[in-house]
Amino acid sequence: MAESYATEHEVSHPGLQHHFENMDQQREASALGMWVFLVTEIMFFGGMFLAYTLYRWKYPESFEVASNHLDIWLGAVNTVVLICSSFTMALTVYCTQIGRQQLQILFLVLTMIFGVTFLGIKAVEYKQKYDDNLIPGRLIPGHPFNPSVQEEGKPADKHKLHLIPGATVRNVELFYWIYFAMTGMHALHMIIGLGIMLVLLFFSVRGRYGPEYHNPIEISGLYWHFVDIVWIFLFPLLYLLGRHIGHG
Amino acid sequence: MSEHIVSVKVYFAIFLALLVGTVLTAWVAFFDFPGPLNAIVALTIACIKAALVILYFMHMRYSSRLIWVVFGAALFWLAIMFALTFSDYSTRSWLPVF
């Protein structure tokens, strides 16, 4: 037994760590480890989705009004950008698996470009909310939550809150707490993802990943797709819920 | 190699399906469906998109049972968290306020 064990290691890939029998076992273990981490991430974001669901259920009118103030087009474009980045990430994994190193690097860079584009559009949105005094509480000193409310009979202004019966400014602020917490945590995950990809890029250029060994690419892809899935739920829940009440 | 390699065709089909889903969910949001249907339609589309990403981009369809169980555990505990919280909040008005 001891001999066959030694032989297997002698012919194995330099990327195989000593505590694994073979590359398949190592790959399975790393994927499992990533999935366990993603379970904790699902529970983490799940808590915020729970807070959203609870307060939307309690204050439906205020949530519709607040949601109506978000820019649906920026949100939709960002959804498409993120789906593109997930697609190029999947192709990064594919090109690594078939051993096309140049394409692997190309798709990795494309994924990062899409990721940065998403964050840029997000920054534009945050700036708009800042200009309309919609940053909740006193997060920014000297710039408290203080949106103007649209008055009856005045020409419609998209920078003002269009309150409907049952909606209050206080509960609109609650929506914006949840909005900034969820999109902020999501953006932080994107920034961490981009950091991971910089490391992957560094080693990809050096040719570390190929058909036999590409666990880091594979499991970073899992993480990136997870972040995409969070946004797939955030987009309809935050941006689209008040759309059918008209104005905005 | 026992690893399953998903073909570019499959990846591209999933990518197109995700784009169609995004356009669809943004489009139907402009219609007002009766009752809770607005949220149900939006969440159904989101769940289908998430399922496509998980099954194909994240290779769940070709993964071992162990990974299915781990992911299933996440959904199970998420369901517990939602169910217990709402069983509390939705029944609070049943008792008189002292």
What chain A holds in terms of domains, given with CATH numbers, is 23-245 (1.20.120.80)
Rounded Cα distance, B78 and A115, in Å: 28
The model's pLDDT over A41-60, given as tens digits with 9 standing for 90+, comes to 999 999 999 999 999 999 99
Task: Answer yes or no: do B67 and A86 touch at CB < 8 A.
Answer: no
pTM equals: 0.92
Confidence (pLDDT) at A153 = 79
- Tell which of A37, A87, A97 to mutate to test the B interface (max B CBs under 10 Å): A87
**8 Å CB contact between A130 and A145:** no
Enclosing H/E stretch for A21 = none
CA A111: distance to chain centroid?
Answer: 13
Q: How many CA atoms lie within 13 A of A68 on its CB side?
A: 24
User: Rounded to whole angstroms, how far apart are CA atoms A235 and A237?
Assistant: 6
**How many residue contacts between A and B have a Cβ separation below 8 Å?**
126
Distance separating alpha carbons of residues A116 and A97, to the nearest angstrom: 26
Q: In this complex, is the C-beta atom of A232 within 8 Å of any C-beta atom belonging to chain B?
A: yes
Residues of A in contact with B74 (CB under 8 A): 38-39, 42-43
Burial class (CB in 10 A: 0-12, 13-18, 19+), A70: buried
> What ranges do the domains of chain B cover?
1-58, 64-92
pLDDT above 70 as % of chain A: 93
User: Per-residue pLDDT tens for A87-119?
Assistant: 999 999 999 999 999 999 999 999 999 999 999
